[in-house]
């Protein structure tokens, strides 16, 4: 547990330095602090014993860790400007979200992600996806297909994350872990809006200043959710 806390602190420090480098336009800082921050959130569950004795089924931890690793891969790809780097990052994050969706499905079957309060949630998330797509559509050009697929997958990830709190129970996962998964999914969705705004709508220092801490917080929440 102490080692996981140290890795978390390292991630927080690296993110603070990364934001500073981004605001100052210092590319070397980005290439130093971003990989360190991403490596730190992968280290959190590994150092915290997530693959040892846990209160969660093994497949859940493996899929969450896979999602974290794919996220780190996407972080590295997005360090490079240009279409190729963006598409590489988009693909890595898309498959990372798929990994999280599969993890959520291990805890609550997809067929149970609807019903009751979740029906309202699903409608709201689908409506939000439609609004986001409408917002981005005029700016996407040749990337409309990949972005459409990404929005569909991240919407499914958000629904699955919210289902953990609204449809989960102690038999599958304790309340704290369910809350961490829900919060992680929500923050990840919000951070991707900042990335989309930066890439397609308006280049603005605030996109990364706000988006990066929210993104790394999401990954840390996912990492802590599988620590026993």
The pLDDT of residue 140 is: 92
Give yes or no for a contact between 174 and 55, defined as CB atoms under 8 angstroms apart: yes
Q: How far apart are CA 166 and CA 116, in angstroms?
A: 9
Predicted local confidence at residue 55, as pLDDT: 46
Check the CA dihedral 156-182-192-12 and report its sign.
Answer: negative
CA distance 216 to 37: 8
Question: Which residues, including other chains, have CB under 8 Å from residue 176's CB and lie 6 or more apart?
Answer: none
d(CA 149, CA 114): 21
The Cα 122–Cα 39 span in angstroms is 33
Cα distance between residue 61 and residue 167, in whole Å: 20
CA of 59: how far to CAs of 64, 92, 211, in Å? 9, 20, 29
DSSP E strands in the chain: the ranges are: none
Chain centroid to CA 17: 20
pTM beyond 0.75: the answer is yes
Nearest Cα neighbor of 153 from 33, 42, 70, 61 is 70
- Quick one: CA dihedral 68, 60, 161, 159, positive or negative? positive
Closest by CA to 132, choosing from 203, 195, 223, 213, is 195
What does the pLDDT profile of the chain (228 residues) look like in tens digits?
899 999 999 999 999 999 999 998 898 999 999 999 999 999 999 999 887 755 444 789 999 999 999 999 999 999 987 788 889 999 999 999 999 999 999 999 998 898 888 999 999 999 999 999 999 999 998 899 999 999 999 999 999 999 999 987 766 788 999 999 999 999 999 999 999 999 999 888 888 899 999 999 999 999 999 998
How far apart, in whole angstroms, are the C-alpha atoms of residue 51 and residue 222?
14
The Cα diameter of the chain in Å comes to: 50
């Amino acid at each position: 547990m102490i080692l996981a806390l140290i890795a978390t602190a390292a991630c927080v420090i690296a993110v603070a330095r990364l934001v500073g480098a981004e605001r100052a336009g210092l590319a070397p800082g980005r290439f130093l602090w971003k990989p360190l921050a991403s490596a730190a959130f992968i280290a959190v569950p590994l150092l915290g014993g997530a693959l040892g004795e846990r209160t969660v089924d093994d497949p859940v931890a493996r899929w969450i860790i896979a999602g974290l690793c794919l996220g780190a891969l996407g972080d590295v790809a997005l360090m490079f400007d240009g279409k190729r780097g963006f598409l590489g990052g988009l693909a890595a994050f898309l498959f990372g979200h798929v990994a999280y969706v599969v993890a959520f499905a291990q805890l609550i079957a997809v067929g149970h992600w609807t019903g009751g309060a979740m029906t309202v949630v699903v409608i709201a998330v689908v409506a939000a996806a439609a609004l986001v797509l409408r917002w981005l559509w005029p700016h996407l050009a040749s990337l409309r297909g990949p972005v459409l697929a990404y929005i569909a997958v991240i919407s499914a990830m958000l629904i699955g994350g919210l289902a953990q709190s609204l449809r989960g129970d102690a038999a599958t996962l304790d309340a704290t872990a369910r809350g961490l998964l829900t919060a992680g999914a929500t923050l990840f969705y919000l951070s991707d809006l900042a990335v989309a705004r930066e890439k397609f709508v308006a280049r603005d220092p605030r996109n990364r200043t706000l988006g990066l801490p929210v993104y790394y917080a999401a990954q840390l929440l996912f990492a802590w959710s599988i620590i026993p």
